[in-house]
Structure 1
Amino acid sequence: MIVGMLCALGAAVCFGVASVLQAVAARAATPGSGSGVDARLLVRALREWRYVAGLGLDAVGFGLEIVALRLLPIYAVSAALAASLAVTAVAAARLLGVRLGRAEWGAVAAVCGGLGMLGLASGREGDGVGSTALRWAVLGTAFAVLGLGVVAGRLPDRARAAALGFGAGIGFGVVEVAVRLLDDLSPGALAADPAAYALLVGGGAAFLLLTSALQRGSVTAATAGMVIGETVGPALVGVIALGDRTRPGLAPLAVAGFALAVLGALALARFGEGGAPADGDGHAA
């Protein structure tokens, strides 16, 4: 349990710092076509060293996330990953001169408190392996994320960012569920398992949508949508379909901790871009 939570928190640190680097790099890249699914924008962003560094941190974070998902219920890992916004806020304050007020520091404390409650209440991951129907449903959801990106790209800027962020969150949520569904990692089993393809499609779609949202839209709306998309759905799938449970008698504590962590993360959503642009003195403009 302790190892799993440490891995989940380590993943949150990696993702939180990566979001600061990637948001700055995406803003520096040449504007894209305006589509929510713009692979060329992703290619241009990859020319920025900060985006590449962010991807490196994402890779490390993903490895830690896989370990955590093998040891903890999805709801605990989801809440810990939502805490990456708290890491983003602190990183923004350190690296970009963004000043955190009392409300923001209170939100950071709320995230930490919620995760502490979850750590006390979480049981072991469920022993459910998921039905074939669930595996195909997860793959279908991954492709639906791409469709959502196409539609969201035509919306006005603020609604566009929120929709793209929500879609990216669903894509990252697909990855969380798919990792739990992959019980046989042999090459033959992976090739025949829809969950393996869901992991690839969902992860790729999430990066496309998130990069587009960070490049043009309101990052506040994008990150808030992402937190909702990647936490609530996967947590419900874990409890309903995969048998995730809390320790006996501690379900209310787990629910309260999950809600506190996610609400605290949403309060920090405006720091998902790594803060406002800095002026010549290195302070937020």
Structure 2
Amino acid sequence: MICALASALCFGTATVLQAAATRAAEPGTGAGAGSGVDAALLLRAVRQWRYVAGLALDGLGFVFQVIALRSVPIYAVGAALAASLAVTAVVAAPVLKVRLSGTEWAAVGVVCAGLALLGLSSGAEGDDAGPASLRWWLLGVAAAVLAAGGLGGRLTGRGRALVLGLGAGCGFGVVEVAVRFIDDPFDLTNPALYALLLGGGAAFLLLTSALSRGSVTTATAGMVIGETIGPALVGVAWLGDHTRAGLGWLTVTGFAVAVAGALALARFGEAPESGTGPTPQDSPAPTSR
């Protein structure tokens, strides 16, 4: 759980840095222009030092995530990663010049409380191999995420950020599950390896596009939903993830509380900087995420 929380800290901070870089790299097109799978935008963004720093944090966070996934159930890691939205909100306050309201700070506390419940109740990771077809399903989902990104990029406003963030979350969710199926990273016959690469790559493309023209918290909220619920169900249904004896109810409560707190942050994340000021998404694009 410590590794999962360290991963959330890395991912949440990286999201703010990458949002700043992608907005600075945005050529100034309309809010709904472009594609959700925009490789050119990614190439422009990587020229920004903030995006590179974010990638470095993402790499470190992924290492922590893999360690966590090898030790605790997927649902516990997923809920811990939902805390990245709390990190994003807190870090975005000074970087994006937005002020967190009392409601948002309360939501941060709710996320922490849910994670504490999960830490007390989660058992060891399951050791079931799962059906062989699940590896191919993961690869199919990863391909579907990439295709859906092209359609999501045609939307406008907060809906665009939410859909692309949700797609990115599904891609990261594929990565979470695929890690459990990869014992030898050099086994090129394992479909889970390609699912991990395709899902992770598609997720980065979609998240970069979502952050370039829209709300950081809305995009991250969609990502939280995509990377928590589906992988958690897969872990419990097919991979043998379980809770400590008699504490299943506490696990469900902790998971629900943590995710609800994260989504509450997304709901209130567009609070004005001041009582009458514009919302962050209506303000000029900041030079840093």
Determine if the TM-score, normalized by the shorter chain, exceeds 0.5: yes
Q: CA deviation at 1:215?
A: 0.7
Pair 1:205 & 2:202 matched: yes
1:77 corresponding residue in structure 2 = 77
Q: In 1, distance between residues paired with 2:213 and 2:281?
A: 14
**Between 85-94 and 128-137, the greater mean CA deviation after superposition:** 85-94
Query: Which one of 213, 217, 222 corresponds to residue 219 of structure 2?
Result: 222
2:155 corresponding residue in structure 1 = 155
Describe how 1:106-145 pairs up with structure 2 within 5 A: 106-145=106-145
Query: Which one of 257, 277, 280 corresponds to residue 276 of structure 1?
Result: 280
Deviations along 1:128-150, one digit per CA (max 9) or x if unpaired, are: 12222000000100000011101
Cα distance change of structure 1 residues 186 and 209 upon mapping to structure 2, 3 Å threshold: closer
Q: In 2, distance between residues paired with 1:47 and 1:240?
A: 43
Deviations along 1:190-235, one digit per CA (max 9) or x if unpaired, are: 2010000000000000000010011123334322211111100000
Q: In 1, distance between residues paired with 2:157 and 2:93?
A: 26
**Between 21-30 and 85-94, the greater mean CA deviation after superposition:** 85-94
Deviations along 1:149-172, one digit per CA (max 9) or x if unpaired, are: 011122233322211111000000
The percentage of aligned residue pairs carrying the same residue is 65
Q: Is the 8 A contact 2:122 2:242 kept in 1?
A: yes
Q: CA deviation at 1:186?
A: 5.3
Deviations along 1:39-84, one digit per CA (max 9) or x if unpaired, are: 1110000011000000000000000000000000000000000101
Describe how 1:30-179 pairs up with structure 2 within 5 A: 30-31=26-27, 34-179=34-179
Cα distance change of structure 1 residues 72 and 220 upon mapping to structure 2, 3 Å threshold: same
Cα distance change of structure 1 residues 246 and 193 upon mapping to structure 2, 3 Å threshold: same
Cα distance change of structure 1 residues 230 and 246 upon mapping to structure 2, 3 Å threshold: same
Cα distance change of structure 1 residues 234 and 74 upon mapping to structure 2, 3 Å threshold: same
Describe how 1:179-258 pairs up with structure 2 within 5 A: 179-182=179-182, 184-185=183-184, 187=186, 190-258=187-255
- TM-score, length-scaled by structure 2: 0.89
Q: In 1, distance between residues paired with 2:238 and 2:79?
A: 18
Q: Is the 8 A contact 1:92 1:271 kept in 2?
A: no
Q: In 2, distance between residues paired with 1:124 and 1:172?
A: 22
Q: CA deviation at 1:271?
A: 4.6
Cα distance change of structure 1 residues 88 and 30 upon mapping to structure 2, 3 Å threshold: closer
Q: Is the 8 A contact 1:37 1:146 kept in 2?
A: yes
Pair 1:28 & 2:24 matched: yes
Q: In 2, distance between residues paired with 1:59 and 1:164?
A: 21
Cα distance change of structure 1 residues 36 and 186 upon mapping to structure 2, 3 Å threshold: closer
Cα distance change of structure 1 residues 47 and 73 upon mapping to structure 2, 3 Å threshold: same
Q: In 2, distance between residues paired with 1:138 and 1:200?
A: 11
Q: CA deviation at 1:93?
A: 2.8
**Paired positions, count:** 272
Query: Which one of 1, 6, 19 corresponds to residue 10 of structure 1?
Result: 6
Q: In 2, distance between residues paired with 1:195 and 1:118?
A: 27
Q: In 2, distance between residues paired with 1:12 and 1:66?
A: 12
Pair 1:262 & 2:266 matched: no
| Unaligned 5+ runs, structure 1 | none
Q: Is the 8 A contact 1:97 1:278 kept in 2?
A: no
What is the RMSD computed on CA atoms of the aligned residues? 2.1
Q: CA deviation at 1:85?
A: 0.9
Q: In 1, distance between residues paired with 2:241 and 2:90?
A: 31
Q: CA deviation at 1:267?
A: 1.4
Instruction: Give 2:117's aligned amino acid.
Output: M
**Between 46-55 and 221-230, the greater mean CA deviation after superposition:** 221-230
Q: Is the 8 A contact 2:104 2:269 kept in 1?
A: no
Higher helix share: 1
- TM-score, length-scaled by structure 1: 0.90
Q: Is the 8 A contact 1:27 1:216 kept in 2?
A: yes
Q: Is the 8 A contact 1:85 1:271 kept in 2?
A: no
